[in-house]
Amino acid sequence: GQQVMQIPQYQHVQEGEDFTTYCNSSTTLSNIQWYKQRPGGHPVFLIQLVKSGEVKKQKRLTFQFGEAKKNSSLHITATQTTDVGTYFCAGHSGNEKLTFGTGTRLTIIP
Amino acid sequence: DAGVTQSPTHLIKTRGQQVTLRCSPKSGHDTVSWYQQALGQGPQFIFQYYEEEERQRGNFPDRFSGHQFPNYSSELNVNALLLGDSALYLCASSLGLAGPYEQYFGPGTRLTVT
Task: Sort out which chain B residues have CB atoms less than 8 A from A43's CB and list them.
Answer: 43, 90, 92, 105
Neighbours of B44 (CB within 10 A): 18
Q: Which of B56, B99, B103 sits opposite A45 (nearest CB)?
A: B103
User: Best mutation site among B44, B59, B105, B110 for testing chain A: the one with the most A CBs within 10 Å?
Assistant: B105
Chain A: residue whose CA lies nearest to B42: A102
Contact: B42, A30; criterion CB under 8 Å? no
Tens place of pLDDT per residue across chain A (110 aa): 788 999 999 999 999 999 999 999 999 999 999 999 999 999 999 999 999 999 999 999 999 999 999 999 999 999 999 999 999 999 988 777 889 999 999 999 98
Look at residue B100 and tell me whether its pLDDT is greater than 70: no
- Whether B110 contacts B42, CB under 8 Å: no
Beta strands in B26-86 (DSSP E): 31-37, 44-50, 53-57, 64-68, 74-78
* Each residue's pLDDT tens digit, B15-66: 999 999 999 999 999 999 999 999 989 999 999 999 999 999 999 999 999 9
For residue B43, is the peptide bond before it cis, meaning its omega torsion is within 30 degrees of 0? no
